[in-house]
Structure formats: structure tokens, C-alpha cells
Amino acid sequence: MNSRKCLMGMASEELASLASGMGEGAYRGRQIAHRLYRQNALNLEDMPELPKLFREKLAEAADLCPIEIAEHFKSTDKVQKLLVHNGDRNLYECVLLPYEDRVSCCLSTQVGCPMGCTFCATGLGGFDRNLSHHEIVAQYLLLQSITGRRISHIVFMGMGEPLLNLDNVLKAINIFTKEIGLSARHLTISTVGLVPQIKKLEEQRLPIHLALSLHSPLDEVRDSMMPVNHKWPVREVVRTMREYQKATGRKVTFEYLLIERVNDTQEQAKELAMLIKGIPCVVNLIPWNWVDVGQQGFKRPSRERVRAFRNALEKLGVNVTERVERGHDIAAACGQLAGRHQGKFAKRSTTAGAPESIRMSTTS
């Protein structure tokens, strides 16, 4: 990270203070915030109401955007993925997800991920560092710049474990809600199940949505998939989610990645239904997307097995949805974000790996 101030991610009052410190009226800072967050200005030249001399002084003292686009990929289903960086060798990814009724985006919170889940490209690539809240906000604003529709929903489900970078995530949420004007109810944080951090998030009493990557109701199965389960086993983390739901009043989500004959059995469907009984929640089924994880026997389940697992849950009264696969051809689907970085403890090198036929220039 360089030492220059990053304007993206600064609140109105911080920008007002910055302007005052440079000999301008505080209202100049509020003008910057309006252009930046409400009109998506990506350079100072897009702020003509600022005096030219002030813009020049500002350009010397601060960066408008702390990150750059290295590569831009576009899927056949209109999903777009940006590979971004802040001038170092650590590249990470964010994804634009357009739907008929809304536009969502998937943001990263870390460069890589230290959690080491065996089914996920990000986790097997290792971990480098947390992203600053400036870098998190900048991902949203860059994605907003490539779509003509307003991005109304954010999921913190990109690279990294958001709750390991909670302070910066909370600062970013403050910008998203108070400066950009998004509804907190349209923001979702996904976690592998860090019990102390879930409790810390609960204390914030934010009306955001929390999703737990559960993936099995059985400790012996989840242990083999997610190292975090050795520290906070299934029943403990589900109990914490139950407490979070009671405290916030928000329905929670249990993400369930289906891997054939690993966690898609009828026995596990019944165990899952008993485990989450009484929690206002939804179980979101995600058929495993192929990644080079080096695991023998990992296979995407057939439609018949997915349907049987879903039917078993529904018969037991569980509210079930199934994740619509998006962006698979540009490696933008669940578990496929790899970035390009020199991750500490990496189990293999990582690549963003999109076919040349779907690569776009950074100016497209």
C-alpha cells in the first residue's frame, strides 16, 4: 500500500476535513463525496465544480481510486469479472452479477484466504493480506462503472473470509449505506463459521444478512472439508447462528455445497433438517463447481442427486433454494475465484484462467 490518501472509502466528513485542511471550504469535500458515491466519478476531471487549482493539489496529495483493473472478463451469461490490484503483485477478483430484477456484486475482503477449505480455489491458493476498506469500496465503484444499471445488492463472498477482516468490512458497509445509499438489508456477509467474530458482528445489530458455509451437519465430514471445523464444530457454530438470528431478527442462510457421495446423502439431509430446526433460515444448495483442488473423488452431483437431497429437506419442512450457477465459463462461480498472488502457505500456484476468447481489454 502507498502512503497517499485514498479518496474512495472516505466518508463525507473526512473529505470535508481534507478539503478544509487544504484551504478550501468544507463543502468542497461534500461535493467530492457526491460525485464519487452518487455519480460514480472515477477521476478528478469528472468533478468540474472543483476549482482547477484544488484539483491539482488534490491529485498531488491523494489517489481517487486505490486499485487498478488488470484484466476484465465477460461471461456468456453477462456476468463480468475484474482482476484488480493496487500496484503490487497481489491480484484479487470481484464479480458483477446482473439479474432481471436487480444487479448484485460479489466483493473480495482479502488477497487470498487463510481458511484452506478443500473445495475452494481461493483457499488453496494461500493468503497474503487483508484488503483495506478503501479497496473494498473501490471494487464496488469500479463494477458500477461497467454497468448502466445501479448495483443494489452486495455479497461479501469473493476472495477471503470477511469476518477475519471485520473492521474494514464494517467501515466499507458504512460507506455503502450512508454514502452510496444502499439498503443494509441488501448486504450479505458469508463466513466459514468463526464463532467469536459472529458474536462480535451480532453486537453491531446491523440489519445485514449473514450466511454460514456449513456444507455438512456431520463433524467427521465437515472436518475433512473445512479445517475451521476442528476449532468450532458444527453444533457450536450452528448454535451461534441461532443466537445471531434471535438477536438481529434477520433470517440466516446456511450455504450447502453439494459434492457427490461426500455430503449429498439422504442421511445428511435428515441430520441437517434436525440440526437447524426452529431457526428462521433458508438452506441454499450449491452444486460443486469444478476447481483444480487436487482432491480425489470430488465430483459435481447429478441432477437426480441434487433433486433427491432437496426433496428430502423440503419434506422435513426446510426452506430450500438452489444457487443459480453464473459465470462458470470465466471462473467466476462459487469457489472458483483464485486471483493471482504469491500466497503464504499456498498449496499450489493460482491463476485467473479465463479463455482468451472471452478476455476483454481494461477499457471495454
SS3 356: helix
| Rounded distance between C-alpha atoms, residue 344 and residue 125, angstroms | 8
Residue 255 in grid coordinates = 450455504
What single string gives the DSSP state of each residue in 6-62?
ESTT--HHHHHHHHHHTTS-HHHHHHHHIIIIIS---SGGG-TTS-HHHHHHHHHHE
CA distance 33 to 10: 8
Query: Which amino acids are annotated catalytic?
Result: 93, 334
The answer to whether 163 touches 198, Cβ cutoff 8 Å, is yes
Q: For cell 456468456, name the residue.
A: 76
Q: Are 241 and 198 in contact (CB under 8 A)?
A: yes
Residue 314 host element (H or E): helix 303-315
Q: What are the Cα distances from residue 38, in Å, to 53, 145, 244, 340?
A: 24, 12, 32, 31
